[in-house]
A and B are shown apart, each in its own frame.
Chain A
Amino acid sequence: MPKLYTFLKYFFVVLWACFVIAPFLWAISTSFKDFNSVTGGATYIPWLQFEPTLDGWSVLFKPGSQGGINIIGPYFNSIFVTLTASLISIVLGTLAAYALSRYTFKAGIVKNNDITFFFISQRIMPPVVLSIPFFIFLSSLGLLDSLAGLILVYIVLLMPIAVWIMVDFFNRVPREIDETALIDGCNPFQAFFKVVLPNSVPGMLVAGLFCIIFGWIDFFFAFILTFTKVQLLPVKIVALNSSITPWWSLSAAALVSVAPLIIVAFIVERYLSKGNLSGALK
């Protein structure tokens, strides 16, 4: 019985691994093909079944005058906007979440849980509802088509995620840890910064991962709120599309854009396990 269980376990894990990795292999293979290789039926093995070419990749780095889209600028813009907005969201979100977890707020019928829900409710709203207010808001601040404007909007979008994850994290951290720090001689701020915060790194990394994912993949607001001066990666990649879909360069772009997320996921993955999230203190 245990042998059968082990066999089935590994069988499904391998099956799942194939399911996950197949699109990547397909995209890698396609990115090295040309028009004829893509449209001439399914081929898998380079040199044997098709002649690999770097055309799909070179388009990404060539300037517009040479028929390319040059993603280097937008790529770094995306990294800068996503990281800055995520970092600010995590810092503010962690502080808000700690307060919501440890202190009791009451204004009429509004209590801690309602405030937490208010944060999350910002994510429930369809983005299109926010597009016009954001447009007018950034326009009045003179921040349309700017990195600062995008960062501001992304903070609004990402902070609810950080608050949501961190409130749950702090709720699972025993209050005794804060109380012990107070007893040991810290004031409430020192207790938070010296004791609670260092122990909250796993939670913050997980919240950071989600913020980075949601910030990195956003197309909608990057498209609405920027024009020519500033462009982010998703908007730039869309510019690749033409009457003949360039599957080879789209595949290359997809691989380039997903690479940072894979790297971040690999770093944060070990903190995603439940034990690390809840057992940081006891």
Chain B
Amino acid sequence: MAKIILDNIAHTYEPNASNPIFALKEMSLSWADGGRYALLGPSGCGKTTMLNIMSGLVNPSHGKVFFDEREVTSMITEERNIAQVFQFPVIYGTMTVFENLAFPLKCRQFPEDQIERKVKEVAEILNLQDYLNNRAKGLTADQKQLISLGRGLVREDVAAILMDEPLTVIDPDLKFRLRRKLKEINDKYKTTLIYVTHDQNEAMTFADNIIVMDQGEVVQAGSPKDLFERPQTTFVGYFIGSPAMNLYKCSASSKNEISIGVNSFKVQTNINNFKSENLKLGIRSEYITVENEHSDNSLEADVIEVEDFGNYKLITASFDSFKIKAKVKRELDIPSEKVILKLPAEHCCIYEDNKLI
């Protein structure tokens, strides 16, 4: 196990091109030993490239990789002692489940009794104990993915287990149980887990720390709470949360006040020194409340739609030419035409050039 440090890492798949496109733009990042991370971002944002750089499948065109103090940038994959699980199950079709799980230990010449003990232990965790003598090829897709996962778990000394959207092929119920199992494994063995996903719920429920990426850049790293409450960019605000953050182009009217069309709102951000014309107000639909009377920071909106999701209601309304979404308690009666919505100042985030002020 080790702390993984990416030092000024950048990567392009066309290093000799005159104007190369970077799959990963220059960044420095460190992953604490024993941490539980989620790497979140849309498809093609560089998540897999980052994982492959850590595992050694890709040599970064710029920068260095360290495991603790040891530089591993040019070290080959098999020497890095990393486990990686891919999106689709990769099994050794000619081997049995036992042989599949034992393979990483056999490659590292562990003694037979230790291999047997460890394989049985991992098979138990993954509910594969009844299939140990079966051919891996004949199992279902989720069982095959469990085998892939198991091959990562049999080695206790791995620097980290990197998982590239590993639960895509697994049914929702098992997905939930597996995520919990992974958390247990992380708690028990203190193995660093890095989990790549484009599903924010998966990231939020799994990780202590989430790294959000977009277009080859890390746009924010922090706890699920940080990401939800104080998104550092409008992209994070839009990408994290369901529904996405309400974002409106606005202008500053005084030190702590902004206006959207004819409506003015107090904010807790000092916006005196802003330079750009590109100013936006962002607020989560969870923090918008329905009021009976007008007060500070309230606005009157026309109700377009009220959706009942069972545990909450989602109001879609419009004011001026903008749309606003508010998530409210299910028990609340929503007027059918006009509604007064309040945007609490403490939850209003102001973005200048799409970055949080």
The distance from the CB of A192 to the nearest CB of chain B, in whole angstroms, is 13
B188 adjacent to chain A (CB < 8 Å): no
CB within 8 Å: A-B pair count: 58
A binding-site residues for B, Cβ under 8 Å: 174, 176-177, 179-187, 190, 195, 198-199, 201, 280-282
The distance from the CB of A170 to the nearest CB of chain B, in whole angstroms, is 15
Looking across the interface, which residue of chain A has its beta carbon closest to that of B88? A282
CB pairs A–B below 8 angstroms (20 shown):
A176-B88, A177-B90, A177-B92, A179-B84, A179-B86, A180-B84, A180-B90, A180-B148, A182-B57, A183-B55, A183-B57, A183-B77, A183-B83, A185-B104, A186-B107, A187-B78, A190-B107, A198-B94, A281-B91, A282-B90
B219 adjacent to chain A (CB < 8 Å): no
> A183 vs B103: C-alpha distance in the bound complex, in angstroms?
11
User: Are A199 and B94 CB-contacts (below 8 A) given A174-B88, A183-B84?
Assistant: yes
> A187 vs B94: C-alpha distance in the bound complex, in angstroms?
19
The answer to whether B108 and A180 have CB atoms under 8 Å apart is no
B82 adjacent to chain A (CB < 8 Å): yes
> A197 vs B126: C-alpha distance in the bound complex, in angstroms?
28
Tell which of A176, A185, A201 touches B107, judged by Cβ atoms closer than 8 Å.
Answer: A185
B93 adjacent to chain A (CB < 8 Å): yes
Enumerate chain A residues within 8 angstroms of B104, measured Cβ to Cβ.
183-185
> A112 vs B82: C-alpha distance in the bound complex, in angstroms?
31
- The interface size bin for chain B is 20 to 34
The answer to whether A182 and B77 have CB atoms under 8 Å apart is yes
Enumerate chain B residues within 8 angstroms of A174, measured Cβ to Cβ.
88, 90
The distance from the CB of B72 to the nearest CB of chain A, in whole angstroms, is 14
The answer to whether A281 and B90 have CB atoms under 8 Å apart is yes
The distance from the CB of A188 to the nearest CB of chain B, in whole angstroms, is 9
The distance from the CB of B118 to the nearest CB of chain A, in whole angstroms, is 14
The answer to whether A180 and B86 have CB atoms under 8 Å apart is yes
B binding-site residues for A, Cβ under 8 Å: 55-57, 76-78, 82-84, 86, 88-94, 103-104, 107-108, 148, 151
The answer to whether A281 and B93 have CB atoms under 8 Å apart is yes
> A45 vs B78: C-alpha distance in the bound complex, in angstroms?
69
> A187 vs B56: C-alpha distance in the bound complex, in angstroms?
13
Q: A176-B88, A195-B92 are in contact. List 20 more A-B contacts (CB 8 A).
A: A176-B86, A176-B90, A177-B90, A177-B92, A179-B77, A180-B84, A180-B148, A181-B92, A182-B78, A183-B57, A183-B77, A183-B83, A183-B84, A184-B104, A184-B151, A186-B78, A187-B76, A187-B78, A199-B93, A199-B94
The answer to whether A183 and B94 have CB atoms under 8 Å apart is no
Enumerate chain B residues within 8 angstroms of A183, measured Cβ to Cβ.
55, 57, 77-78, 82-84, 104
Tell which of B76, B93, B107 touches A184, judged by Cβ atoms closer than 8 Å.
Answer: B107
> A176 vs B108: C-alpha distance in the bound complex, in angstroms?
20
Enumerate chain B residues within 8 angstroms of A282, measured Cβ to Cβ.
88-90
> A181 vs B108: C-alpha distance in the bound complex, in angstroms?
12
Tell which of A182, A185, A187 touches B108, judged by Cβ atoms closer than 8 Å.
Answer: A185
Tell which of A177, A185, A195, A199 touches B78, judged by Cβ atoms closer than 8 Å.
Answer: A185
Looking across the interface, which residue of chain A has its beta carbon closest to that of B100? A184
The answer to whether B57 and A179 have CB atoms under 8 Å apart is yes
Enumerate chain B residues within 8 angstroms of A195, measured Cβ to Cβ.
92
Enumerate chain A residues within 8 angstroms of B93, measured Cβ to Cβ.
199, 280-281
The distance from the CB of B133 to the nearest CB of chain A, in whole angstroms, is 18
The distance from the CB of A160 to the nearest CB of chain B, in whole angstroms, is 28
* 8 closest cross-chain pairs (CB), A and B: A185-B107, A184-B104, A182-B77, A198-B94, A180-B90, A176-B86, A176-B90, A183-B84
Enumerate chain B residues within 8 angstroms of A281, measured Cβ to Cβ.
90-91, 93
Looking across the interface, which residue of chain B has its beta carbon closest to that of A185? B107
The distance from the CB of B334 to the nearest CB of chain A, in whole angstroms, is 49
Looking across the interface, which residue of chain B has its beta carbon closest to that of A183? B84
The distance from the CB of B340 to the nearest CB of chain A, in whole angstroms, is 55
Looking across the interface, which residue of chain B has its beta carbon closest to that of A180? B90
> A189 vs B55: C-alpha distance in the bound complex, in angstroms?
18
Enumerate chain A residues within 8 angstroms of B88, measured Cβ to Cβ.
174, 176, 282
Looking across the interface, which residue of chain A has its beta carbon closest to that of B108? A185
The answer to whether A184 and B55 have CB atoms under 8 Å apart is no
Enumerate chain A residues within 8 angstroms of B148, measured Cβ to Cβ.
180
Enumerate chain A residues within 8 angstroms of B57, measured Cβ to Cβ.
179, 182-183
Looking across the interface, which residue of chain A has its beta carbon closest to that of B104? A184
> A199 vs B90: C-alpha distance in the bound complex, in angstroms?
12
Enumerate chain B residues within 8 angstroms of A187, measured Cβ to Cβ.
76, 78
